[in-house]
Structure 1
Amino acid sequence: MIDLSVLDDATIWVAISFVLFVLLIFKPIKLQISNSLDKKINDLKTKLDEAMKLKNEAEKLHKDHENNFKINLQRIEKIKLDTTNEINRIKKNVNEELKIITSRKNNTFDKNSKQIEEKIKDDLKKEILSNTIFFTEHRIKKELKKKHNSKFIEESLKKLSKHVS
């Protein structure tokens, strides 16, 4: 038959009670560990989802900033081009205005110079004519008085005598 004396040994009962204790505690501990691990997994998933959302937002912001940067660079280039074109247009207008002003000044100077030249010519002509008339008159008077006076008288007398006779 079965030897029941083994059941008298306390070590066996301690071993059996330890195994029963472990079996009874294993399920609640397993549940508790499982719940704890599930909670940590869920927390990690939540954090991972948040991290992914943040990453996606950061990537979107980065792309938006890159696009804005490109757009701003294009705007800057357009502004530079527009500014250069405006500067060239203004330079062209200023140069044209300077040419017109210079031309007007030159024309005015030429007109004034011609007027002054004409006035000087007229004044010189008048002076020369006046002097010529004065000197011619003076010479004629002087010559008539001295030399021609006697010839003039003789010729006049001859002419008179011819007409009288």
Structure 2
Amino acid sequence: MSEPEPDLVRGGFELVGDVEPLWKALHQHHQLCLPGFAYHPDETSWNNRRDEYRRWLARPDSFVLVAYAGGAAVGYALVEVVDGPDDTWVTGDRVAVLQSLSIAESFRGRGLGTVLAERVEAELDARGVHDVMIDVVEGNTGAERFYERRGYRRVMSIYAKFSG
């Protein structure tokens, strides 16, 4: 007998506490993808990210989708909707930024990322938002392939010089 499909819940900041372990796992994954930098400890990273989530989710039309299985969060996608149009590319009056998408290791490769991405796109379509931007950490080739399969294209690279 197969496990039941996770339940998806859409909401705002009230759901953010449930995704802490998923953010920390993503933060650790980023460090594996791009070693050689000084990274915040998991707890500091989470506190900083949670504060960003609070700001992003305060914007109209922004939302988080959380997938639950057995009462625990096993995946999530957090979307901020910002004012457009973009200054470089032709976009609508609002642009979505997929700020985070993380899947619990035990649920990877089972289609949950696709389910979340499809639901994000449906939620955005319902809001009349048709332009989406996503940042992917350098070296995260799995995420790059995932988004490319969904029709996304690389449009920019970010260079950084950190003091740490």
Give TM-score scaled by structure 2 length. Answer: 0.13
Q: Which has the higher contact order (CA 8 A, sep 6+)?
A: 2
Q: Which of structures 1 and 2 has the bigger CA Rg? A: 1
Bigger fraction of residues in strand = 2
